[in-house]
Amino acid sequence: MRTHWFILRTCISERLAYRGDFAFGTLVRFLPIVSSIFLWSAIYGRDDSQVINGYKLPDMIAYFLLVMVGRAFSSMPGLASGIARDVRDGTIKKYLTQPVDMLMYLFWARVAHKLVYYLVATGPFVFVFYLCRSYFAYAPDLATIGAFILSLVIAFLIGFLMESLIGLISFWFLEVSSLIFIFMMVNYFLSGHMAPLPWLMKIFGDDAASQGTARLVMMLMPFQYLAYFPAALMLGKHTGADLWQHLAVGAGWVLVLLLANRIVFARGVRRYSAFGG
């Protein structure tokens, strides 16, 4: 634990050295909120009473604000490409010759990144949510808020483990940039970042059987836990047994992805060889 705590402190200090860059990047990330509000207002014709696929205009804007929170936890920019670069140029040897587990080191580095990010972003988030408070019609209880916090932890873990797993594929492939691009595109759609998943379910058809199948498929895939599920539960779309069932599936994906990471890393190290450097 002392090693993990030292890694966390060191990574936090490293991130704080670039706090100006963090602050500027954080402010820029809030600009899409304005365009999203105008876009969905135009789609709904500024009619707050119109319902499209179970969402009114205020629900849709509140949804995208909450999706930003989920994405801030689950997005891991540069993680997969960084692992691939370390494998390709031999830098990964430092994790193999020193008593530091690579995956654990990268995990604490990402925890430090998120801590510093939210240290900078908390003020802007509070300000934006205060300005848009009229869009939040659903008042969650303490249990829902607790489940929301737990869903954000699951979103972070799944996001980290999926990105690291893609990066570890570089033990077998020289270049994984195409796989990262494909993952980003699939993630954009199936995580609910582009639109709520009930909108995408319409592709399967409008009858009850097709919708039931689509809902089951979406629930069993890990992508929805990166953005859609945390936002939807805060809007009251998941309650009671359905809420805890989704949390259980998300926790199950964390365990599956963790096991997959460990197996792939162990097998990758066995076949890895580096020269020079």
C-beta of residue 167 within 8 angstroms of C-beta of residue 82: yes
On whether residue 277 sits in a domain, the answer given is: no
Give the C-alpha separation, 88 to 98, whole Å: 19
Query: DSSP class of residue 169?
Result: G
Average pLDDT over residues 33-57: 80
Angle among Cα 121, 39, 214 to the nearest 5 degrees reads 90
On whether residue 276 sits in a domain, the answer given is: no
What pLDDT does residue 120 have? 75
Sequence-separated (6 or more) residues with CB below 8 Å from residue 90: 274, 275, 276, 277
pLDDT tens-digit map of 226-242: 999 999 888 888 888 88
Average pLDDT, the chain: 83
Give the C-alpha separation, 161 to 253, whole Å: 10
On whether residue 134 sits in a domain, the answer given is: yes
Cα torsion at 91, 22, 163, 260 (round to 10°)?
80
The band of 257, judged by pLDDT with boundaries at 50, 70 and 90, is very high
Average pLDDT over residues 117-138: 80
What pLDDT does residue 93 have? 84
What pLDDT does residue 161 have? 95
pLDDT tens-digit map of 12-31: 777 666 666 666 766 676 67
C-beta of residue 69 within 8 angstroms of C-beta of residue 127: no
Domain residues for the domain of 122 are: 2-270
pLDDT tens-digit map of 140-186: 888 888 999 999 999 999 999 999 999 999 888 878 888 889 999 88
The band of 189, judged by pLDDT with boundaries at 50, 70 and 90, is confident
Angle among Cα 79, 81, 82 to the nearest 5 degrees reads 65
Count Cα atoms within 13 angstroms, Cβ side, for 197.
29
Proportion of the chain above pLDDT 90, given as a percent: 21
On whether residue 45 sits in a domain, the answer given is: yes
C-beta of residue 3 within 8 angstroms of C-beta of residue 100: yes
Q: At what angle do helices 19-29 and 2-16 cross, to 10 degrees?
A: 80
Query: DSSP class of residue 52?
Result: B
Total structural domains within the chain: 1
What pLDDT does residue 126 have? 82
Weakest-pLDDT range from 75-79, 102-106, 217-221: 217-221
Count Cα atoms within 13 angstroms, Cβ side, for 10.
10
On whether residue 36 sits in a domain, the answer given is: yes
C-beta of residue 202 within 8 angstroms of C-beta of residue 55: no
pLDDT tens-digit map of 190-234: 888 888 888 777 666 666 666 667 777 777 789 999 999 999 888
On whether residue 253 sits in a domain, the answer given is: yes
What pLDDT does residue 230 have? 92
What pLDDT does residue 162 have? 95
On whether residue 25 sits in a domain, the answer given is: yes
Residue 10 identity:
T
Residue 243 identity:
L
Average pLDDT over residues 91-107: 84
Query: DSSP class of residue 221?
Result: S
On whether residue 22 sits in a domain, the answer given is: yes
Give the C-alpha separation, 168 to 147, whole Å: 31
The band of 276, judged by pLDDT with boundaries at 50, 70 and 90, is very low
Q: Tokens 């197996």 sit at which residue?
A: 263
Residue 46 has pLDDT above 60, yes or no: yes
